[in-house]
Structure 1
Amino acid sequence: MLGLVILSAAIAAPAGAQSKLQEVLGRGKLIVGTGSTNPPWHFKDEKGELVGYDIDIAKVIAKGLFNDETKIEFVTQASDARIPNITTGKVDITCQFMTVTAARAQQVAFTIPYYREGVGLLLLKGGKYADYEALKAAGGKVTISVLQNVYAETMVHKALPEAKVDQYDSVDLIYQALNSGRADAAATDASSLRWFIKQNPGRYQDSGYGWEPQTYSCAVRQGDPDWINFVNIALREALTGVEFDTYKASFEKWFGETPPAPKIGFPSELR
């Protein structure tokens, strides 16, 4: 629930210790760890500037701090640096499509979620199979292209138990297999699927089924309740409150769909 502050390791800071919130305000800019090669999350545009959904989420936090989303410094980092750069203080926060797990929550404190990822099935519009139900009904006649991974076949078979699974060593190749007819659908991250559909209007469609859910949150250093509380408020008010229009525009831009508007009246996240 969005209203719940996630305090996975909210150990009180030592008496007299300065909160990260005061440190960032005093510095005058927010330092954010993120990636640079994974659209629609974080990548460089034609001007060489970092853009994407993770980047917009970070800007929401910067705006909450300084009423100025440009007061931010991005530190590009590999995925395996996301936790070390938090724990060593190299960055104030990591916003880099980071999956929440109990094991990771022993090392960092996670914010409220800002996206729920999963696996989806990309179809050609007007193709042989109209949706997930048609794929499932076809059983073993269906071929699914997927990025090569030790778990890829098991993952696909959770949704389509009888399907043939063809694995490829790049995302481009799984799309090429679909385009050429070698595959009837491509299994990929739901966010990538939505981004790809938006980039190719009228050519592809979502099967309408998703599975393998995982939560994406930003991460901060443990032991600083003031800092995580501030970040959670900034994110909550983007998802459900005064900054919703900014959040909505970002979600539409990167995923091609409109998030549900917050209902006026009783805060539904408290139910």
Structure 2
Amino acid sequence: MKTTLALAAAAALFGALPAAAQESRLQEVLDRGHLILGTGSTNPPWHFIGEDGSLQGFDVDMGRLVAKALFGDPDKIEYVQQSGDARIPNLATGKVDLTCQFMTVTAERAQQVEFTIPYYREGVGLLMMDRGDFADYDALKAAGGDVTVAVLQNVYAEEMVHQALPGAEVDQYDSVDLMYQALNSGRADAAATDQSALRWFMVQNPGRYKDAGFGWNPQSYSCAVAPGDQRWLNFVNTVLHEGMTGVEFPFYSASFAQWFGEELEQPQIGFPVEYK
């Protein structure tokens, strides 16, 4: 009698749980046979349409890494090209299994989605002409008000630049193209931009530009899944972790080198570096 009552109570409790707690998206994706990834299409090196017409970029590669782990084939993936403001709604409605779209981790967003472990650490850097008047960040800082920095226009732009170069003159531009034109023409000594954009620009123009060697305003980029599905989140976390530290490091590091022009060091053998 007690056993029967216990089973009935367990069944009632399980029936009261939300569907996400009963059936994981992981099994749904496996049964479907392909991953549905939400990402963008207009922001290299993260996600953009290449010359061959295919969607590519570092975010896209993170989705391909997950598809490879699921099916042994990184191409078993369907893309939903979405705007930035659709990232969270498309997860909430189940339109996508996973979003990888240079999504900054914030406490507010973490109340609406489950963030994966970070796969990139973004920040602001200073792009300079390779043969400009200043050698590096230290030289820029020492020059004080004799330095002009170009930056994309926004309400925090001047404050942001002055965090790194307190005495610099700040010229704001309403497009990235105009910002780079100011640097190319000599009207600016440096351009303050995302580190990822800086690296991509250097990859596309070898020998023309250099990194000043200083970064600030760090923020984490993570993929995201709908809340309430720990098994699916654990799986994606495992894939990303092993991409950065384990058996799939060659895949992750090749993508990193392609889009950011940086060769990553092999993960240390022996004691797991995460726990040092």
Shorter-chain TM-score tier: over 0.9
CA contact 1:110–1:220 (8 Å) conserved in 2: yes
Secondary structure of the residue aligned to 1:237 is helix
Residue 255 of structure 2 is aligned to residue 259 of structure 1: no
Structure 1 pair 16/106, CA: closer, same or farther in 2 (3 Å)?
closer
- The two structures have a TM-score, normalised by structure 1, of 0.94
CA distance in 1, matches of 2:159, 2:21: 52
Deviations 1:166-186 (A, max 9, x none): 011111111110110100000
Distance verdict in 2 for CA 1:67–1:13, change over 3 Å? farther
Question: Equivalent residues in 2 for 1:1-271 (5 A)?
Answer: 17-271=22-276
Q: Is the 8 A contact 1:108 1:222 kept in 2?
A: yes
Q: Residues 6-57 of structure 1, C-alpha deviation per residue, up to 9 Å, x if partnerless? A: xxxxxx8659721000000011110010000000000000111100000001
Which amino acid is 2:56 matched to? Answer: V
Structure 2 SS opposite 1:103: helix
Q: Distance in 2 between matches of 1:174 and 1:53?
A: 24
Compute the RMSD of aligned alpha carbons: 1.2
Partner Cα separation in structure 2 for residue 205 and residue 176 of structure 1: 16
SS in 2 for 1:208: coil
Higher relative contact order by CA 8 Å / sep ≥ 6: 1 or 2?
Answer: 1
Gaps (5+ residues) in structure 2?
Answer: 1-16
Which structure has the larger Rg over C-alpha atoms? 2
Cα distance change of structure 1 residues 16 and 231 upon mapping to structure 2, 3 Å threshold = closer
Q: Which amino acid aligns with 2:123?
A: G
The structure where helix makes up a greater share of residues is 2
Identity %: 68
Q: Hey, what's the Cα distance between the residues in 2 that align with 1:95 and 1:167?
A: 30
Query: What CA distance in whole angstroms lies between the structure 1 residues aligned with 2:21 and 2:185?
Result: 64
**CA distance in 2: counterparts of 1:99 and 1:187, whole angstroms:** 19
Paired letter, 1:84: P
Q: Which consecutive residues of structure 1, in runs of 5 or more, have no partner in the other structure?
A: 1-11
Supply the distance in 1 between the matched residues of 2:264 and 2:221 (Cα, whole angstroms).
16
* 1:13–1:224 CA contact under 8 A, matched in 2: no
The alpha carbon displacement at 1:98 in A equals 0.1
| Residue pair 1:33, 1:74 contacting (<8 A) in 2 also | yes
Q: Secondary structure of 1:213's partner? A: strand
SS of alignment partner, residue 115 of structure 1: strand
Check the 8 A contact 1:248/1:258 in 2, yes or no.
yes
The runs of at least 4 consecutive aligned structure 1 residues that moved more than 6 Å come to none
Change (3 A) 1:106 1:150: same
Aligned residue-pair number: 260
Contact 2:20 2:228 in 1 (8 A): no
Distance across 2 between alignment mates of 1:151 and 1:222: 32
Opposite residue 223 of structure 1, the aligned amino acid is G
